[in-house]
Amino acid sequence: MELAVYDINGNKTEKTVKLKDEIFGIKPNEHAIYLDVKHILANRRQGTHKTKGRSEVKGSTRKLRRQKGTGFARVGNIKSPILRGGGITFGPKPRDYSFKLNKKVKRLARKSALSQKAKNNNMIIIEDFSLEAPKTKNYIEILKKLNLEGKKSLLVLSESNKNIVLSARNIPNSEVTLVSQLNTYEILNTQQVVFAESAIKEIENKLMK
C-alpha cells in the first residue's frame, strides 16, 4: 500500500510512503484486538472501590427484639444487611484488575488496528513539522487545512515535541502521542490517525521485531 504525503497546509506533496503489508495490510485479528483493549483498560482501573460490611459499620450489637413470639421475622443487631444503615452484603473490595498479556498478542493487536485504519482510509501521513511557539490557534489551523476540524484525531510523532503537545492539549478530541507510547486502544478510539513521516519508519521497525 502506498500513501501520499501531505504538508501542514493540506497540500499533497510529490512524496509518497510505501507501507509494509506485514503491518498495515494484514487481516485484522478481532480476538487479539479485544484482548489488548481489555488489557489496557483493566490496567487503567484504580480498583479502590470499597463498601463496609456488617463488621465495619458503626452501631450497637444488641439484639433488636426477641427471637420468637412476635409474629415478625427474626432479626439480629442494627448492623444487619437487611436493615437501612446496615452493612453491605458481598460489596466491592479493593482489588487489582491488571493482568499480563503476551507481547506477541499486543503486537498483533496493534498491527490489526493499523490495518483497519489503512483499509478504511482513516490514515494520513504528513511531513515532519514543528511549531515555533506553543499556540493552540496554530494547531487548529493545521487541523482545518487537513479537514480534521471537529473530528477525533490522533497525531503520532517519532519524538517528543513540547510545542506541538502544548498546542494540542486544550483542543477537544485531538490527541498527540509518540510511537513508543502508541497502543491499540488509542488507534481504535479515533476517527483519523495522523502519522508524521518519520514516525512511519519507526513504527515499522518497532512492530517488525
Between CA 203 and CA 29 the distance in angstroms is 19
Residue by residue, what is the 3-state secondary structure of 23-82?
Answer: HHCCCCCHHHHHHHHHHHHHHHCCCCCCCCCCCCCCCCCCCCCCCCCCCCCCCCCCCCCC
Is residue 112 a contact partner of residue 32, using CB atoms and an 8 Å limit? yes
Q: Is the pLDDT of residue 209 over 80?
A: no
Between CA 200 and CA 161 the distance in angstroms is 17
pLDDT confidence of residue 127: 93
Please tell me the CATH superfamily of domain 2-46+98-207, with its number: Ribosomal protein L4/L1 (3.40.1370.10)
- Domain coordinates in residue numbering, the chain: 2-46+98-207, 51-91
Output DSSP code: residue 10: S
Output DSSP code: residue 179: G
Q: Is the pLDDT of residue 86 over 80?
A: yes
pLDDT confidence of residue 193: 95
The model's pLDDT over 164-180, given as tens digits with 9 standing for 90+, comes to: 999 999 999 999 999 99
pLDDT-based confidence at residue 149 (cuts at 50, 70, 90): confident
Count CB atoms within 10 A of the CB of residue 179.
21
